[in-house]
């Protein structure tokens, strides 16, 4: 342990701009395994449970299904044994990531704090640590004071302030709200990067883009760039693959709640764990965590004005709608599917990235306590989870050179949702133009889906 810390500190002295996390993943692999029979499923569940493997897809061994590939992280000491077992059971597999640590080291993530003193030099195509993001929020508020205010949402377990940016054109008329939070799961770094990108795009294009101008007359965006701040910081300093918050349990024997299992939506009934060691630990009760409570307090107090609740994650390339905790459909299931399909088509049109659309319980696996489902139960008509790139090649370690294309395509998709909601609520005369574009996108999407299905 001492040696490990010494090594990290030593590296830190030599190259202070390079981040060295204390938890190392040397020789660890991510395997993609394809169970073909129910026997395979049982064997895989046994392996995952006895060796306590970190499942990346799905998150719980009980959600392993025939015909659905799983992604699982295997410690170096078990890689050989795992592969022997899979061969013995004749379960097809391939190596997705052949050395997690090597991938982390090659990514060469740097601190940008010294270059982040002004907005003009802020680089949106790299990952930023929390200190930089706090500073960035202040700079944004200052630079765009006619459109942006920064507000206190609440505080984290470790007592850090959580802020959101309110972006809109001040108006005497009553306005509506679109909510977006990023970074509820610490290791999903592309999510906070996207929130920042979104803010930049909206503000930089405000003057030249009549559509954005119109939207900001009607709607205020409430953007939380990083919700799980404690976890995000921990993923920079200590463990790149940390997912949960940093709350301490059982006298410090285990840490962290999965904040997206902590909301009051059939809390901890399915796809979540009661064990604080688990990656999907649901907390000690619904809304037990201060980060969750902060979201709940604000959203509940303004629920009649919130038109849409968006929460940004990675990975998997999905747009998910309620529900995850039941196969039941939300009130406006068909409309939500239609709107998400248009968004997926717009995403694909940009760089060809294929997104799937549907309810979590149908196209992914069931889970309870998510903010998306809670928002739908609260009565919000539109509530989506975006799972951004990629589909497994890099997993949570999406390379920085994919930040820009990922954000561009997500922006293109998300704008179709925002346009739809704006038109629906404010019936601007641009309606017909937009719906024509939407229909072209739908046709494109259907053609592509058919081509995709036939091909595979």
Ligand X SMILES: *[C@@H]1O[C@H](CO)[C@@H](O)[C@H](O)[C@H]1NC(C)=O
149 vs 273, beta carbon nearer ligand X: 273
Give the x/- contact pattern for ligand X in 52-91, rule: CB under 6 A: x---------------------------------------
Q: Which of 275, 297, 437, 447 binds ligand X (CB under 6 A)?
A: 275
| Residue count, binding to ligand X (CB under 6 A) | 16
Give the x/- contact pattern for ligand X in 295-334, rule: CB under 6 A: ---------x--x------------------x-x------
Residue 28 neighbours by CB under 8 Å, 6+ apart: 73, 74, 75, 76, 79, 99, 100, 101
In whole angstroms, the minimum distance from the beta carbon of 302 to ligand X comes to 10
Q: Catalytic site residue 387?
A: yes
Q: Are the C-beta atoms of 259 and 289 separated by less than 8 Å?
A: yes
In whole angstroms, the minimum distance from the beta carbon of 178 to ligand X comes to 12
Structure tokens at 230: 């404690």
Q: Could you tell me which stretch among 11-19, 157-165, 210-218, 378-386 binds ligand X (CB under 6 A)? A: 378-386
In whole angstroms, the minimum distance from the beta carbon of 85 to ligand X comes to 20
In whole angstroms, the minimum distance from the beta carbon of 262 to ligand X comes to 18
In whole angstroms, the minimum distance from the beta carbon of 318 to ligand X comes to 12
141 vs 373, beta carbon nearer ligand X: 373
204 vs 277, beta carbon nearer ligand X: 277
3-state SS string over the chain?
CHHHHHHHHHHHHHCCCECCCCCCCCCCEEEEECCCCHHHHHHHHHHHHHCCCEEEECCCHHHCCCCCCEEEEECHHHHHHHHHHHHHHCCCEEEEECCHHHHHHHHCCECCHHHCCCHHHCCCCCCCCHHHHHHHHHHHHHHCCCCEEEEEEEECCCCCEEEEEEECCCCCCCCEEEEEEECCCCCCCHHHHHHHHHHHHHHHHCCCCHHHHHHHHHEEEEEECCCCHHHHHHHHHCCCCCCCCCCEECCCCEECCCHHHCCCCCCCCCCCECCCCCCCECCCCCCCCHHHHHHHHHHHHCHHHEEEEEEEEECCCEEEECCCCCCCCCCCHHHHHHHHHHHHHHHHHHHCCCCEEEEHHHHCCCCCCCHHHHHHHHCCCEEEEEEECCCCCCCCCCCHHHHHHHHHHHHHHHHHHHHHHHHHHHCCCCHHHHHHHHHHHHHHHHHHHHHHHHHC
In whole angstroms, the minimum distance from the beta carbon of 282 to ligand X comes to 13
Contacting ligand X within 4-33 (CB under 6 A): 32
In whole angstroms, the minimum distance from the beta carbon of 131 to ligand X comes to 31
Interaction between residue 46 and ligand X (CB under 6 A) = no
Give the x/- contact pattern for ligand X in 383-422, rule: CB under 6 A: --------xxx-----------------------------
116 vs 286, beta carbon nearer ligand X: 286
Q: Are the C-beta atoms of 214 and 430 separated by less than 8 Å?
A: yes
Interaction between residue 251 and ligand X (CB under 6 A) = yes
150 vs 449, beta carbon nearer ligand X: 449
In whole angstroms, the minimum distance from the beta carbon of 348 to ligand X comes to 10
Q: Could you tell me which stretch among 120-128, 178-186, 373-381, 442-450 binds ligand X (CB under 6 A)? A: 373-381
289, 387, 409, 423: which one is catalytic? 387
290 vs 395, beta carbon nearer ligand X: 395
In whole angstroms, the minimum distance from the beta carbon of 266 to ligand X comes to 6
Q: Which of 4, 354, 436, 443 binds ligand X (CB under 6 A)?
A: 354
- Measured CA to CA, the distance from residue 439 to residue 89 in angstroms comes to 48
At 321, give phi and psi (nearest 5°).
-120, 170
Q: How far is Cα of residue 205 from the mean position of the Cα atoms in its chain? A: 25
88 vs 252, beta carbon nearer ligand X: 252
Give the x/- contact pattern for ligand X in 167-186, rule: CB under 6 A: --------------------
Q: Are the C-beta atoms of 34 and 91 separated by less than 8 Å?
A: yes
Interaction between residue 358 and ligand X (CB under 6 A) = no
Q: Could you tell me which stretch among 241-249, 342-350, 379-387, 399-407 binds ligand X (CB under 6 A)? A: 379-387
36 vs 275, beta carbon nearer ligand X: 275
**Burial degree of 119 (CB within 10 A; 0-12, 13-18, 19+):** middle
Structure tokens at 5: 């810390």
38 vs 275, beta carbon nearer ligand X: 275
Interaction between residue 277 and ligand X (CB under 6 A) = yes
Give catalytic residue positions: 387
Binding site for ligand X (CB under 6 A): 32, 52, 251, 275, 277, 304, 307, 326, 328, 354, 379-381, 391-393
């Amino acid at each position: 342990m001492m040696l490990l810390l010494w090594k990290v500190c030593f590296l830190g002295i030599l190259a202070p701009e390079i981040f060295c996390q204390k938890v190392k993943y040397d020789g660890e692999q991510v395997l993609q395994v394809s169970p073909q029979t129910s026997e395979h499923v049982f064997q895989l569940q046994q392996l995952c449970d006895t060796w306590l493997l970190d499942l990346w897809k799905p998150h719980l061994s009980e959600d392993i299904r025939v015909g659905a590939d799983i992604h699982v992280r295997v410690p170096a000491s078990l890689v050989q044994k795992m592969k022997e077992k899979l061969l013995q059971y004749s379960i097809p597999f391939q190596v997705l990531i052949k050395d997690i640590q090597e991938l982390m080291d090659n990514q060469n993530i740097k601190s940008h704090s010294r270059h982040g003193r002004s907005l003009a030099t802020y680089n949106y195509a790299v990952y930023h640590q929390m200190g930089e993001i706090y500073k960035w929020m202040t700079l944004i508020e200052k630079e765009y004071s006619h459109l942006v205010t920064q507000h206190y949402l609440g505080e984290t377990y470790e007592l850090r302030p959580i802020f959101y940016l309110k972006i809109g054109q001040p108006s005497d008329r009553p306005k509506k709200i679109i909510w977006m939070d990023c970074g509820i799961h610490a290791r999903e770094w592309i999510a906070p990067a996207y929130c920042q990108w979104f803010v930049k795009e909206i503000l930089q294009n405000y003057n030249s883009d009549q559509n954005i101008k119109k939207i900001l007359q009607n709607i205020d965006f409430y953007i939380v760039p990083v919700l799980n701040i404690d976890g995000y910081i921990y993923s920079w300093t200590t463990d790149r693959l940390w997912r949960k918050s940093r709350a301490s349990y059982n006298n410090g024997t285990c840490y962290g709640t999965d904040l997206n299992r902590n909301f009051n939506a059939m809390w901890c009934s399915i796809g979540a764990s009661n064990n604080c060691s688990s990656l999907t630990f649901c907390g000690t009760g619904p809304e037990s965590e201060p980060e969750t409570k902060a979201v709940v307090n604000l959203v509940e107090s303004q629920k009649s004005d919130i038109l849409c609740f968006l929460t940004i994650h990675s990975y998997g390339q999905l747009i998910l709608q309620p529900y995850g905790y039941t196969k039941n459909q939300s009130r406006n299931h068909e409309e939500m599917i239609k709107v998400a399909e248009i968004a997926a088509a717009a995403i694909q049109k940009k760089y060809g990235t294929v997104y799937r659309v549907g309810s979590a319980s149908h196209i992914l696996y069931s889970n309870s306590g998510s903010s998306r489902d809670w928002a739908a139960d609260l009565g919000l008509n539109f509530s989506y989870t975006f799972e951004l790139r990629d589909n497994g090649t890099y997993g949570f370690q999406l390379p920085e050179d994919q930040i820009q294309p990922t954000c561009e395509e997500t922006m293109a998709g998300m704008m179709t949702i925002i346009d739809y909601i704006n038109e629906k609520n404010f019936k601007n005369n641009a309606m017909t133009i937009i719906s024509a574009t939407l229909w072209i996108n739908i046709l494109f999407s259907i053609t592509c889906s058919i081509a995709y299905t036939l091909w595979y």
